[in-house]
Homo-oligomer: A and B are copies of this chain.
Amino acid sequence: MACSKFEYVKQFEQHTTVLPNTFLVVRLDGHSFHRFTATHKFVKPNDERCLHLMSHAAKHVMETYPDVTLAYGQSDEFSFVLRRRTTLFKRREAKIASTLCSLFTAAFVCAWGTFMKDVLLAYPPSFDARVVCYPTERNLKDYFSWRQADCHVNNLYNTAFWALVQDKTNPSTERAAQALLKDTDSAAKNELLFSRYGINYNQLPELFKKGSVLFRKPTIVQQLSSRDGTTPVERSRNLVVIEHRDIIGEQFWEENPYILQD
């Protein structure tokens, strides 16, 4: 074309593709969310509204890309699985990471008002993304066990930390709370929550303890018949559902074998 003199610069592009026949995990992380949650005065230790907003954005990503078979979110992060055989964007790493990250961000911002009600969005939030390949089912399951164990560990810590800081009669400074919790094990944190604050950690919402698991479930939906457009008929559709449950054990995977299928 007319541009040929300059077009040589295209040769500098490197289109890295991810290894075929491996599960792809795309993990998004909130960028500078410490500042973001402070600016928007998020409820601590968990702001339920934003957790639901995150899941909503993730659901939109899953509904847009059928090759995403599973998503898992906790805190300001979300992980998506692309099935082994996916050829999405010819398995180009940068394209997969940036497009999913961009779509999640857009869905997050679009639905901000719906979930955060009267909290005004002070500035545009952003997320980063990375793509990781996992060659076996074992590795993939262990990835999600890693994230869900991380959710539990962090949530227990944060619950104890904010209980101390938000203590109405005798509030700790953040520094003091940190010093107190340093080197305590799970049992000690559970005990502190129960004895000082009457909080039974095990009875806290699963949303906080387990995070959010999004997957497709055959669901009966009511539709109008395509024949006459008026008779109501029932159809089975694979709809994305959001549950807060254990994915470290085998049960979840056994119940949903399609997640790992080719």
Contact = CB atoms under 8 A, between A and B. Distances in A.
A174 interface: no
A226 B56 CA distance: 45
Nearest to A138: B21
Interface string A1-22: 1110111111111101101111
A119 to B, nearest CB: 14
A89 B60 CA distance: 28
Copies of this subunit = 4
Interface in A73-119: 89, 93-95, 97-99, 101-110
Contacts of A12: 19-21, 132-134, 139, 143
A128 B95 contact: yes
Contacts of A11: 20
Given A124-B103, A153-B3, A135 B132 contact: no
A16 B12 CA distance: 12
B60 A19 contact: no
Nearest to A109: B109
A140 B133 CA distance: 17
Nearest to A185: B2
Contacts of A3: 146, 149-150, 153
Given A12-B132, A98-B101, A105-B109, 12 more contacts: A9-B134, A12-B20, A12-B143, A19-B22, A19-B135, A21-B136, A94-B128, A98-B129, A98-B130, A101-B101, A102-B129, A136-B136
